[in-house]
Amino acid sequence: MAKRYWLMKSEPDVYGFDDLLAEPNQTDHWDGVRNYQARNIMRDEMKVGDGVLFYHSNTKPPHVVGVAEVVREGYPDHTAFDSNEKYYDAKSDPDNPRWYMVDIRAVEKLPAIVPLDQLKSDERLVDMKVTQRGQRLSVQPVTATEFQVVVELAKANADAS
């Protein structure tokens, strides 16, 4: 399977790219996803080595901030089993887990952020889910081309500033 690419959303106030950079080995597990579509992607589709665009939502402006990679494939999200956890789900049984997560490692913080407006205005990115109205999926696929374009936009932004 060729390397694939994904976009993962997080609210910077909750868990931002800098938090990932601060982790040992710049690696952490992506817990707390409680959406079946996103779960399926993490459980079934994300593979070690896949590229990830790290996106900050619910901030002004929303933007892509960095690049990460998948370092561990889907495994049960243990935070669903612990009633002390914010993301506890009584319906997820350790013998038959409902929720899964992956581990990602920060690869690089982009030299400049790429705001959502810029993603929307680039004709090469019109099919990106994140640019489409009402698209809330927190883990979504992107194409190799889209991934590359976003990285290039970040570099161009840095050069222009």
Partner DNA sequence: GCCAACGTTGGC
**What residues line the site for DNA (CB under 7 A)?**
9, 11, 35-37, 57-62, 91, 116-117, 130, 133-138
- From 19, 50, 11, 68, select the one nearest 143 (Cα to Cα): 50
Query: By C-beta, is 13 or 95 nearer to DNA?
Result: 13
Shortest reach from residue 114's CB to DNA, in Å: 13
Query: By C-beta, is 82 or 117 nearer to DNA?
Result: 117
Query: By C-beta, is 79 or 138 nearer to DNA?
Result: 138
Give me 62's structure tokens: 């929303």
Shortest reach from residue 26's CB to DNA, in Å: 23
Query: What secondary structure does DSSP assign to 2-53, as a single string?
Result: ---EEEEEE-HHHH-HHHHHHSGGGEEE------HHHHHIIIII--TT-EEE
Query: By C-beta, is 5 or 99 nearer to DNA?
Result: 99
For the chain, the C-alpha Rg in angstroms (whole number) is: 16
C-alpha to C-alpha distance for 110 and 132, rounded to whole angstroms: 23
Shortest reach from residue 108's CB to DNA, in Å: 22
Query: By C-beta, is 7 or 67 nearer to DNA?
Result: 7
Give the 3-state secondary structure of residue 69: strand
Shortest reach from residue 1's CB to DNA, in Å: 26
Shortest reach from residue 138's CB to DNA, in Å: 5
C-alpha to C-alpha distance for 75 and 78, rounded to whole angstroms: 9
